[in-house]
Structure 1
Amino acid sequence: MTLQGKRAIVTGSNSGIGLGVAVELAKAGAEIVLNSFTDRDEDHALAARLAAETGVPVRYIAADMSKGADCRALVEKAGGCDILVNNAGIQHVAPVEEFPVEKWDAILAINLSSAFHTTAAALPGMKAKGWGRIINIASAHGLTASPFKSAYVAAKHGVVGLTKTVALEVAGQGITCNAICPGYVLTPLVEAQIPDQMKVHDMDRETVIREVMLQRQPSRQFATTEQLGGTVVFLASAAADQITGTTLSVDGGWTAL
């Protein structure tokens, strides 16, 4: 599954799922544009390190995904893209009546509206080439719900709807649009929560992972960033030419319940 000659933009990709996706795309030969809202020396050093490890061009472009103009400028500064992975996202947990308005607005902007803006900016170039891949990182919460996550669930359901609409609009033009719906993924952020959960529940590591953190995931195993990256590479490949407008769950059976 070679992606040589293709340029991929991955939003929210200086850590976690986004970085895992970028690494696998780079291994497949794609030129990579990393992104986050910061503009630190370490962000650019990360791009240089990934380029050295994989032998493909890698750049870092700072853009605030809460701002529509920044989202569109990211695509312009990158020189367009063949593969767009909308991954940027944030979370906040609270009852609806107590949910801070500013958190609702930020989650909808970063988790949903950013995908609209980057997609709108990327599509003209994809149409001109007659080829493109838009891959949205949604969530199991794009297909089901949990209490106290109203903004996140609403945004991820919106991402699934946006995915289907875009797929229909570009059908037959060599462009596909799909959503990946992960369950719990072992990222540095999740890894850091494990020791605290062990103390709170007085459990060993494996028990707290299986019985607390992965209680809703029937496999009782985390998905990995490498697995999600591999799924993105597959959707970007010729093998997925006729896969469009759908969701692909990587959730250990969560949404089968």
Structure 2
Amino acid sequence: MTDDPIPGADGPELTAANVLEVDDDRYAAESVALVTGAASGIGRAVAVALAANGCTVAATDVDADGLDDTVDRGADLDAAGEIHTIKGDLTEDDDIERIVDTAAEYGDLRFLANVAGLQHVAPIEEFPAEQYDLMQRVMLRAPTLLSKHAFPHMREAGGGAVGNMASVHGHYTTSDKVAYNVCKFGLRGLTQSLAAEGDGEVRAFSVSTGYVSTPLVTGQIPDTADQRGLTEQEVVEDVMLGQSRTKRMMSPVEVANLFVFGFSRHAKHLNGGDLLFDGGMTNTYE
């Protein structure tokens, strides 16, 4: 990648003015929101946005330095809620259980945002099995186990919700991303399973966006360009935003605002459903 600005990646920044503020009595210090992948990108934005709305946030990631930066970002926004950091590895079952138990020590664990993700671009004939397995563990198995351990805490708290970061790739697929596609379709299935078992007491929803301006997305541009014989600018304009009617990537704070709404009292009928914010990428065509 060059140091030139990425076309279409100039969305709203993570500032107090751009965070959705919701009037909800449960958005208070006693309510804990556990957010995975919170050291950067969408996870950081979700953690900060929920803290800005008054929740106590348990922010987890393998990147301890990135988590510290997330705490600093919350302080920069003068967030009403406190952000606690929990360094943890979502590929380790014991760590997953410890993360949930630690989050529950900060108050009533009501919300779980499964955001952590990773990407690998390669045709299926060349896709490394170990990378496929890693992505499955982080992006599908971990959200399942986190939900398993969080459900009892949410029921004890009198209700809660799980929000899963899906994607347009949970609605349709693109080539050279077999592991990512399978994980995102699986997350939508997990969402519906959780809704079925939550008895209306614990809700579940997924968030499906088009391309978001994060390190995960920008980092795959060179690989995609190499795979398809395109320039990096062509990847952004023709591949990533080619089908979208909105010719701009979403920014992390715009995605975070969907979680803020989805966890709130205003979304009480959002249960098993998917918030598809893709700029027209999925359901329109020329």
TM-score, normalised on structure 2? 0.80
Percent identity over the alignment is 33
Secondary structure at the aligned position of 1:181 is classed as strand
- Aligned residue identity for 2:231: H
How far apart are residue 218 of structure 1 and its match? Answer: 2.5
Counterparts of 1:93 and 1:191, CA distance in 2: 12
Aligned match of 2:260: 233
1:28 Cα deviation from its structure 2 partner = 1.1
Rounded Cα–Cα distance in structure 2 between residues aligned with 1:209 and 1:99: 23
* 1:219 shift after superposition: 1.5
- What SS class does the counterpart of residue 254 from structure 1 fall into? coil
Letter in 2 for 1:39: A
Q: Equivalent residue of 1:56, what SS?
A: coil
Which of 141, 159, 166 matches 1:138?
166
Task: Identify the match of residue 237 of structure 2 among 204, 210, 217.
Answer: 210
- Structure 1 CA distance for aligned equivalents of residues 103 and 158 of structure 2: 19
Q: Which residue of 1 aligns with 2:31?
A: 6
Provide the rounded CA distance (Å) in 2 between the counterparts of 1:91 and 1:76: 28
Q: Return closer, same or farther for 1:91/1:254 CA change in 2, 3 Å cut-off.
A: same
Looking at structure 1, the residues matched to 246 and 69 of structure 2 have their Cα atoms a distance apart, in angstroms, of: 36
Question: Partner of 2:155 in structure 1?
Answer: 127
Q: Structure 1 residues 178 and 211, CA, compared in 2 at 3 Å: closer, same or farther?
A: same
CA distance in 2, matches of 1:194, 1:180: 22
Shift of 1:193: 7.2
User: What is the 5 A alignment of 1:1-257?
Assistant: 1=22, 2=24, 3-4=27-28, 5-40=30-65, 43-51=67-75, 53-79=78-104, 81-173=109-201, 175-190=202-217, 201=231, 209-257=236-284
Contact 1:167/1:177, CA 8 A, preserved across alignment: yes
1:164-222 superposed Cα distances (whole Å, 9 cap, x missing partner): 0110111232x11000011101124545778997xx7396xxx8743453113222221
CA gap of 1:202–1:39, structure 2 versus 1, over 3 A, is: closer
- Secondary structure of the 1:133 match is strand
Partner Cα separation in structure 1 for residue 47 and residue 237 of structure 2: 28
Greater mean deviation of Cα atoms: 51-60 or 125-134: 51-60
User: Are the counterparts in 2 of residues 25 and 233 from structure 1 also a CA contact under 8 Å?
Assistant: yes
State the AA in 1 paired with 2:211: Y
Q: Is the 2:154–2:160 Cα contact (8 Å) retained in structure 1?
A: yes
Larger helix fraction of residues: 1
Give the secondary structure class of the aligned counterpart of 1:178: strand
- TM-score (normalised: structure 1): 0.89
Quote the Cα distance in structure 2 between the aligned partners of 1:169 and 1:35.
Answer: 25
Structure 2: gaps (5+ residues): 1-21
CA shift, 1:20, in A, is: 1.1
Contact in 1 for aligned 2:35/2:58 (Cα 8 Å): yes
Change (3 A) 1:185 1:45: closer
Q: Is the 8 A contact 1:142 1:181 kept in 2?
A: yes
